[in-house]
């Protein structure tokens, strides 16, 4: 049990995952026990659909975080705490 306290955690998705990224995340998560689902796909408007089942999303520099993608993530509940995405969009 690794000496950790068992607790229910929400799953997280990680986009643009390479083998070395996965190995790093799994090692870092060993003491925490979070459920992490890895996607090789890079985050873009089409792959953002994969995030709908996850309250947390991890992205990398190669992912596309344009307004449309961020809006889609917000609508799916992946960017909590923002009552209206238009409040943070540039005018």
Residue in the structure block whose two tokens are 């993608």: 69
What's the chain's length in residues?
91
Q: What pLDDT is recorded for position 86? A: 59
The domain of 65 spans 12-88
Query: Domain for residue 5, yes or no?
Result: no
How many whole angstroms separate alpha carbon 44 and alpha carbon 25?
22
In a domain, 52, yes or no: yes
Number of domains, the chain: 1
Integer CA distances (angstroms), 50 to 4, 26, 69, 77, in order: 30, 20, 12, 12
Question: What is the predicted pLDDT for the residue at 67?
Answer: 86
21 located within any domain:
yes
Q: What is the pLDDT of residues 16-62, one digit of tens each?
A: 999 999 999 999 999 999 999 999 999 999 999 998 888 889 999 99
- Domain of 84, CATH number, reads 3.40.50.720
């Amino acid at each position: 049990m690794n000496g950790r306290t068992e607790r229910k955690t929400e799953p997280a998705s990680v986009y643009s995952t390479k083998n070395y990224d996965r190995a790093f995340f799994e090692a870092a998560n060993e003491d925490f026990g979070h459920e992490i689902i890895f996607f090789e796909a890079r985050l873009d408007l089409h792959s953002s659909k994969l995030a709908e089942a996850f309250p947390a999303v991890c992205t990398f520099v190669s992912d596309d975080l344009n307004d449309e993608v961020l809006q889609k993530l917000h609508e799916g509940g992946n960017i909590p705490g923002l009552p209206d995405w238009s409040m943070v969009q540039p005018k």
